Amino acid sequence: MIYDRDFFFKRRKEIGLISVVVIIISSFSLFFYQQNITEQNVKNSIFAQYKDRQIESTQAISEHISSDLKLLKSILQGIADSSLLQQGLLYGDRIDKMMQEKFSEVNNVTKVDTIFIADKDDIVSYEIVSEGTRRFINIDLSFREYIQETKNTLRSTFSDGFKGIDTIERIALAVPIVNSSSGEFMGIVGVKIPTESFFSLYGNIQDTNSQFLVVIDKKGTLLAVGADKSLVGKNFFGEFVQNFTNHNPILMNLTQNLLQGIPGYAIYDYGKGERLTTNALVFIQGKPLYFIQIVTPTTTIYSKINNVLFEEKLTMFSLIGGIIAAITALIIVLIKWNSILNNEVKKRTKELQESNREIALANEELKVHDKMQKEFINVAAHELRTPIMPIIGLSELLYNKVLNKNENNLKQETLKEYLQTLVRNAYRLQKLVEDILDVTKIESRIFKLNTELFELNEVISNVVTDFENSIKNKNSKVQILYEPNRSKIFVNADKTRLTQVISNILDNSLKFTQEGFIIITTRITNKEKDDDKDNKVIVIIKDSGIGIDNEILPKLFTKFVTKSNQGTGLGLFIVKKIIEAHGGKIWAENNSNGIGSTFYFTLPIVKTSEIVIDRG
């Protein structure tokens, strides 16, 4: 469990990165999968829409053509019903004037290159042609089917396509001039319309590569063909056109249906690319007169669809890209956040561990201190009880002897020895009590110095004098030598405590020196020799005794360390604490010549100049 957590913990960056990659890959896979499924549907649907629109527009074009042709017819009807023609006037200036007006009016509607009037025998009596068109005045038109039909039915007639001498394919509209009162046929007024320029108004008949228009008449003659100009005037079902379309059965079927009045659409390819063709019929007076086909190369449709799809894809792609970027940013933020939190937790944990460690350490110190305290009490108790034994024992013994008047038994010498022992142990007890009180003060940190300014040589001399006197009394073979420093040494210290320090050290030296000397010297430190910033005095106490036991030396200044039969083992401990309280140091070493040992302690000194100022 912990292992797993550690694993994820350590690999969180990699896992984050992998997550991002997985999210990106799966997003894109899903996106492309969905895209492929829907793309075909969208294509089909757009194509269907396109086809429907084309059917509608084909229908609209046919209606447009139909309405234009109707307008043309009504203009011609107006000419036929005009008073001039009704009066039988079929040419002349007045006719010319009217016809010029009408010609331009007609040409406003659509492209007409000839307007003519024929008499009742079909002879052209008047004619206006547009520039570059041949005139046919006095030509007999009776060979034209539409002329015959108009004459026979007395109804206006739209012709199928026909070719003139100039090989331009035309259709014609003929309106009979019928006397409004007698109903007598008086002639025909008609227009000829070049099919290509006429139908080009409604659709592309030039460019085969884009959507184009095809117009067919009732007989199947092609009046306008965007696919190829050479096909104009040819019959759709004829060899020429069929060769062109490679006898495509779908197109053939579609066109047959169209001519039978059935509109529709088809998709086919006769070798020049897939095409979508929609049909419509141009009705005049309820009859289908012309048939139109709108042909679109499907590539143009698909390119449009692809454009739409591409735009759609681009939108989706940006959307997904945006989402991925947002998620990635979020994950990065989360990883960053996690990392920050993690560091914070680590920091806190470390702090906690540190503080736990400190507490444990403090606890350990307390335990050690507690143990030391117990030990101190045990040792102190032992040390205190020991001198009491001779005091109680000997005083009781003396008392008993005095009480029993057994004085004969008590020699003078014994009495003296008893009293010496009693006094010695009483002093020992006193010294012990003082030392233990000092130690207790030091350890409970209520130890205070009563400092004053004094001259160190004087104090040392006093202590030495006291010791010399005591030595004389004991008949000791030890000589104490002290040569005071030539200059005065002022210290700001506790005189009593310092006396105690020197006494204790001398005491100690004396204890281990049976014969020889104890030499006390002082020296002022200096920068060059001692590398000491502040001036200090070093007090040196050298003896010729037995030296310090190597086992004792490292713990010489700790409590209850002693090799002597007398002494508490507290003296040097107290000495060290007093020196340290003065800001000094104390140490000891065995002399290099192997005889005796030397104690050193330092004290900060007060410069003479400062003393002068101080005294004002």
Partner 1 sequence: MTKRILLIDDEPDITFTVKDILEDNGFKVDSFNDPILALNYYKVNFYDLVILDIKMPKMDGFELYTKIGEKDPQVKICFFTATAMFTEEIKKALLTLGKTINEVYFIQKPIRIEVLIKKITLIINKNKK
Length of the chain counted residue by residue: 616
| Least distance (Å) between residue 431 CB and partner 1 | 14
Rounded distance between C-alpha atoms, residue 466 and residue 474, angstroms: 13
Exposure string over 7-20, b if 16+ CB within 10 A, otherwise e: eeeeeeeeebeeeb
| Least distance (Å) between residue 444 CB and partner 1 | 23
Q: Count Cα neighbours of 228 within 13 Å in the Cβ-side half-sphere.
A: 11
Residue 120 CA to chain centroid, in angstroms?
96
Return the HEC string of 580-607: HHCCCCEEEEECCCCCCEEEEEEEECEC
Structure-token pair, residue 53: 């629109």
Nearer to partner 1, 527 or 563 (CB): 563
Q: Are 245 and 251 in contact (CB under 8 A)?
A: yes
Question: What angle separates helix 495-512 from helix 571-581, to the nearest 10 degrees?
Answer: 140
Q: Are 117 and 85 in contact (CB under 8 A)?
A: yes
Nearer to partner 1, 6 or 396 (CB): 396
Exposure string over 216-243, b if 16+ CB within 10 A, otherwise e: bbeebbbbbbbbeeebbbbbbeeeebbe
Nearer to partner 1, 262 or 392 (CB): 392
- The sign of the torsion formed by the CA atoms of 117, 120, 121, 122 equals positive
Rounded distance between C-alpha atoms, residue 140 and residue 158, angstroms: 19
| Least distance (Å) between residue 433 CB and partner 1 | 15
Strand partners of residue 515: 477
* Nearest of 416, 390, 372, 425 to residue 573 by alpha carbon: 372
Strand partners of residue 105: none
* Nearest of 91, 92, 88 to residue 181 by alpha carbon: 88
Query: If DSSP codes are grouped into helix, strand and coil, which group holds residue 514?
Result: coil
Q: Are 520 and 481 in contact (CB under 8 A)?
A: yes
User: What are all long-range contacts of 100-104, with beta carbons under 8 Å and residues at least 24 apart?
Assistant: 100/128, 102/75, 102/78, 103/128
Rounded distance between C-alpha atoms, residue 496 and residue 68, angstroms: 142
* Nearest of 177, 194, 183 to residue 91 by alpha carbon: 177
Return the HEC string of 364-426: HHHHHHHHHHHHHHHHHHHHHHHHHHHHHHHHHHHHHHHHCCCHHHCCHHHHHHHHHHHHHHH
Rounded distance between C-alpha atoms, residue 455 and residue 610, angstroms: 14
Rounded distance between C-alpha atoms, residue 337 and residue 345, angstroms: 12
Q: Looking at 404-494, list the stretches that DSSP marks H as alpha helix, in order from N- to C-terminal side.
A: 412-443, 456-474
Footprint on this chain of partner 1 (rule: CB under 8 A): 378, 381-383, 385-394, 396-397, 400-401, 417, 421, 424-425, 563, 565
Number of helices (H), then strands (E), in the chain? 15, 18
| Least distance (Å) between residue 405 CB and partner 1 | 14
Q: What burial class does residue 370 get, using C-beta atoms within 10 Å of its C-beta: 0-12 exposed, 13-18 middle, 19+ buried?
A: exposed
